[in-house]
Amino acid sequence: MDGKLNHLGVIIDGNRRYAEKAGLGLGKAYLEGADKVYAVVRHVFDKTDIGEVSVYALSYDNLLRKSDELDAILRIQKAAFDKWTEDPFFRERGIRVRFVGDRGMLPAGFRESCERLESATSENGNRVLNILMAYVGRKDISSAVKKAVLGAKDVNDIDIERYITENLDVKNPVDLVIRTASGHRLSGFLLWQSDYAEIIALDKLWPEVEMEDIDGAIAKFQSGKTKRGL
């Protein structure tokens, strides 16, 4: 590995703990978290040549939370995506926004906001921002396997790894995963794509993350100082 960082993964964690720590309501904490997503995305695409960023914004497990908390998450994220649709940043930087996950689990109005943002950025350049919503890695792989088998003329001749990769919504391998709140788990994040990814845990809750923390993780990866090949 030469330290080239093409695809960065970000696992957001710690919004609820931040609310408790800072004495904030969940809505305020999630709002700060959403603002931090935009700040990090903008910083990475502005300051680096990374071509693809995947952000784990809402897992399948998140959808099982208490309805008032989930409603707050979805309301704030929807407002953010509506704002992004009008933001010239994505066009100026040539960034296409894609939503990955089981959209059928999301409210209709929320899905419409996602689709508007995708449409508004669909003609942009070659850089990609994947937003994982209602996503779980095992289901992603299972769906890809099913598509591969159904699309094959002879199952015995399937190049299974190639077929799975071709049928995933996110096809490119992840080089580096940054996770906040000291977590070291992938929690279902792009399991197939992250099989050789380095994982760097930041000892900060998501809203507390600074751009220097992101820069430091990227620099550590590029310097080769992470434990590779283990």
Question: Distance between CA 223 and CA 3 in Å, rounded?
Answer: 7
Residue 124 appears among annotated catalytic residues: no
The one catalytic residue in 6, 13, 68, 87 is 13
| Bridge partners, residue 99, by sequence | 131
Question: Distance between CA 91 and CA 144 in Å, rounded?
Answer: 31
pLDDT reported for residue 7: 98
User: Residue ranges of the alpha helices (H) in 86-197?
Assistant: 88-92, 108-121, 137-151, 160-166
The one catalytic residue in 15, 46, 61, 62 is 62
Residue range 190-204: average pLDDT? 96
pLDDT digits (tens, 9 = 90+) for 3-46: 799 999 999 999 999 999 999 999 999 999 999 999 999 999 99
Q: Mean pLDDT score of the chain, rounded to an integer?
A: 92
> Who contacts 168 (Cβ-Cβ below 8 Å, separation ≥6)?
140, 141, 144, 192, 193
Q: Of 12, 48, 6, which is closest to residue 30 (Cα–Cα)?
A: 12
Residue 167 appears among annotated catalytic residues: no
At 150, the pLDDT band (50, 70, 90 cuts) reads confident
pLDDT digits (tens, 9 = 90+) for 45-96: 999 999 999 999 998 888 887 788 899 999 999 999 999 999 999 999 999 9
pTM of this prediction?
0.93
CATH number of 7-223, picked from 3.40.1210.10, 3.40.1180.10, 3.40.50.300, 3.40.50.150: 3.40.1180.10
